[in-house]
């Protein structure tokens, strides 16, 4: 994701998606930039009559004309500068907001495999850090290309009109710096990429630190984590300094050329004034124009470095947008099977691997409508992977997964996932009111339906005791709630969602006895009339299941009721004996 992106592709993307519809406002801003840039040329031109026309015995009208003209130039420049800065600031913020929104919308569609190789901190840096860097660079680039180019043209026009030979002498050193400038731009672009990559590592480190703060404090590993962050910070600092150093060298080169040009003009033009072939007013007007030329030239030189830094951020954003989800809906999805007391789920000779590591090896499994099917077995048996395949978070390497007899790959992906309600041991809650957390994916449900969901989830009493009731924020990652409360909010969400299939992944693990009882009662109500699949390590929670499927090393090794499995012996009986040996 760090390969260079052609400038043409970057500019085409930004223009097509963000600038084209803003072109009328941008055109107005550019016109005001041209006014400001042209005012600089007019100011240098007015120096000539100031020196040649204002002298002892001159008419006072000349003084009034020059004074009024200079004042008018400054007024026009002030109004034009203010207007285009305001317009460009608003457009820059708009583009930045759109970019960030588009990136987030796109990234949320990507598969789980993408998130396994891109940590949250790195993605946050791409969405926020790169965007912030681009937002601060965008107005200077456009303003320089609009205002400073016009300034440069108008000032050079004045200089050429006064004396083209003086102009040639002043810019004689420019060709010398073309190659060094190109090399510096390439270095700025390279070091800017390194700097943004290092910033992503910093964000990842912070994300891990804050999410793991409890473990760090309990183990006394704060100094070790601080040292790890310091090493990442040093890497970022070195890359950023290299980038800034290279960018700063560009205007320095232009200053050296300016020194050479001014010295040449002073020697050549000064000798002509002494000889009487040129007037002092012409020389001062030319000298003012050339002195002002090098200021926009320096800014344009700086912009080349600024663009190189901006391009690094744009490349990283473009790479992110070029990521494509592997799991998509078919061009013509088949109709979703009708749910009557749940839907039949089946895995037919399914195999699945993570990279080169096999996880499922030709398993066959059926979950009947209206029944509870439990998956048990040691860690690493492939139980959670079955859930991923059922919800099509992943596709099998071989075999079929069907819903109501239809292959999942033939169904619309969004509609398919709407058929599932999921309650896991780490159901995600967000720092939003409890009502918002429960209504996720079901925003059209009424307050009465929300109240029924709370009651079915055994959550009514504790929610009523919260400071703001149902409007109490859950806190970051649900930190304002206990484990049992988080689970009951997740169950209320599943109740409100009212999907025909219920997936329970260790939903009562790590709960105290009372919380487990309340959650178990709520889950029993939730499972009525649905196809229910349960993952559990604690066998006591699945004794009443209609069917228990025993898995080991990616295979189904046995299945039946609790009593049948105990009577047959085998892995289930061994696991039961280990858990209930006391």
Average pLDDT over the chain, rounded to an integer: 80
What does the alpha-carbon distance between residue 123 and residue 201 come to, in Å, rounded to a whole number?
10
Worst-scoring range by mean pLDDT, 83-97, 143-157, 438-452? 143-157
* pLDDT class of 490 with cuts at 50, 70, 90: confident
What does the alpha-carbon distance between residue 475 and residue 464 come to, in Å, rounded to a whole number?
17
Q: What are residue 423's DSSP bridge partners?
A: 504
Q: Is the pLDDT of residue 329 over 60?
A: yes
> How far is CA 308 from each of CA 5, 7, 76, 304, rounded to the nearest angstrom?
12, 10, 32, 6
What was the pLDDT predicted at 190?
Answer: 78
What was the pLDDT predicted at 233?
Answer: 84
* pLDDT class of 364 with cuts at 50, 70, 90: very high
Buried b (16+ CB within 10 A) or exposed e, 143-163: bbebbbbbbbbbbbbbbeebb
What was the pLDDT predicted at 389?
Answer: 92
Structural Rg of the chain based on CA atoms: 35
User: pLDDT (tens digit, 9 = 90+) per residue, 459-472?
Assistant: 888 889 888 989 99
* pLDDT class of 48 with cuts at 50, 70, 90: low
What was the pLDDT predicted at 1?
Answer: 46
Q: Is the pLDDT of residue 62 over 80?
A: no
Backbone φ and ψ of 131, nearest 5°: -65, -40
User: pLDDT (tens digit, 9 = 90+) per residue, 371-398?
Assistant: 889 898 888 888 889 999 999 988 999 9
Instruction: Name the pairing type of β-strands 406-407 and 398-403.
Output: antiparallel
Neighbours of 302 (CB within 10 A): 19
Q: Which residue has the tokens 């504790």?
A: 462
Q: Residue count of the chain, please give it.
A: 582
User: pLDDT (tens digit, 9 = 90+) per residue, 491-510?
Assistant: 888 888 888 888 888 777 65
User: pLDDT (tens digit, 9 = 90+) per residue, 245-267?
Assistant: 877 777 677 667 766 766 776 67
Domains of the chain, earliest start first: 7-322 (1.20.1560.10), 345-579 (3.40.50.300)
Q: Which residue has the tokens 């390590």?
A: 537
pTM above 0.75, yes or no: no
What was the pLDDT predicted at 408?
Answer: 93
DSSP letter, residue 355: T
DSSP letter, residue 523: H
Q: Is the pLDDT of residue 361 over 60?
A: yes
* Average of per-residue pLDDT across 179-187: 74
């Amino acid at each position: 994701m760090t390969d260079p992106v052609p400038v043409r592709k970057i500019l085409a993307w930004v223009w097509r998606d963000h600038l084209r519809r803003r072109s009328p406002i941008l055109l107005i801003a550019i016109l005001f930039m041209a006014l400001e840039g042209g005012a600089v040329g007019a100011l240098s031109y007015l120096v000539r009559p100031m020196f040649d026309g204002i002298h002892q015995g001159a008419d006072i009208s000349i003084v009034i004309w020059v004074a009024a003209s200079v004042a008018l130039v400054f007024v026009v420049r002030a109004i034009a500068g203010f207007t285009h800065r305001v317009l460009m600031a608003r457009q820059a913020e708009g583009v930045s907001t759109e970019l960030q929104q588009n990136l987030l919308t796109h990234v949320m569609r990507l598969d789980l495999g993408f998130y396994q190789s891109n940590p949250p901190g790195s993605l946050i840096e791409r969405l926020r850090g790169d965007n912030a860097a681009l937002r601060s660079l965008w107005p200077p680039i456009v303003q320089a290309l609009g205002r400073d180019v016009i300034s440069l043209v108008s000032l050079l026009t004045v200089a050429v009109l006064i004396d083209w030979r003086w102009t040639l002498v002043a810019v004689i050193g420019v060709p010398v710096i073309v190659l060094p400038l190109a090399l510096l731009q390439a270095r700025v672009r390279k070091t800017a990429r390194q700097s943004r990559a290092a910033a992503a590592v910093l964000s990842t480190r912070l994300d891990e630190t804050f999410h793991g703060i409890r473990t760090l404090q309990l183990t006394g590993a704060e100094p070790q984590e601080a040292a790890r962050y310091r090493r990442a910070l040093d890497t970022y600092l070195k890359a950023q300094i290299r980038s800034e150093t290279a960018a700063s060298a560009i205007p320095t080169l232009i200053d050296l050329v300016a020194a050479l040009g001014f010295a040449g003009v002073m020697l050549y033009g000064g000798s002509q004034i002494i000889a009487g072939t040129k007037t002092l007013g012409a020389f001062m007007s030319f000298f003012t124009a050339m002195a002002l030329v090098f200021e926009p030239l320096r800014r344009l030189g700086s912009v080349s470095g600024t663009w190189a830094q901006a391009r690094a951020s744009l490349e990283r954003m473009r790479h992110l947008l070029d990521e494509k989800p592997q799991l998509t809906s078919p061009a013509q999805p088949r109709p979703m099977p009708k749910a009557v007391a749940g839907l039949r789920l089946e895995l037919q000779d399914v195999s699945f691997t993570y990279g080169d590591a096999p996880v499922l090896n030709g398993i066959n499994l059926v979950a009947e409508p209206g029944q509870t099917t439990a998956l048990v077995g040691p860690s690493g048996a492939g139980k959670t992977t079955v859930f991923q395949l059922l919800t099509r978070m992943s596709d099998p390497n071989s075999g079929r997964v069907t819903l109501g007899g239809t292959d999942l790959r033939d169904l619309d992906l969004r509609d398919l996932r709407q058929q599932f309600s999921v309650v896991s041991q780490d159901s995600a809650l967000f720092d939003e009111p409890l009502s918002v957390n429960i209504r996720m994916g079901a925003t059209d449900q009424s307050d009465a339906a929300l109240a029924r969901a709370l009651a079915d989830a055994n959550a009514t009493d504790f929610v009523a005791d919260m400071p703001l009731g149902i409007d109490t924020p859950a806190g970051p990652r649900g930190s304002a709630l206990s484990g049992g409360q988080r689970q009951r909010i997740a169950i209320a969400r599943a109740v409100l969602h009212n999907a025909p299939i219920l997936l329970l992944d260790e939903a009562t693990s790590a709960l105290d006895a009372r919380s487990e009882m309340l959650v178990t009662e709520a889950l029993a109500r939730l499972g009525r009339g649905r196809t229910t699949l349960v993952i559990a390590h604690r066998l006591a929670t699945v004794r009443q299941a209609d069917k228990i499927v025993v898995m080991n090393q990616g295979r189904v090794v046995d299945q039946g009721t609790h009593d049948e499995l105990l009577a047959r012996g085998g892995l289930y009986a061994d696991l039961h004996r280990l858990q209930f040996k006391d």
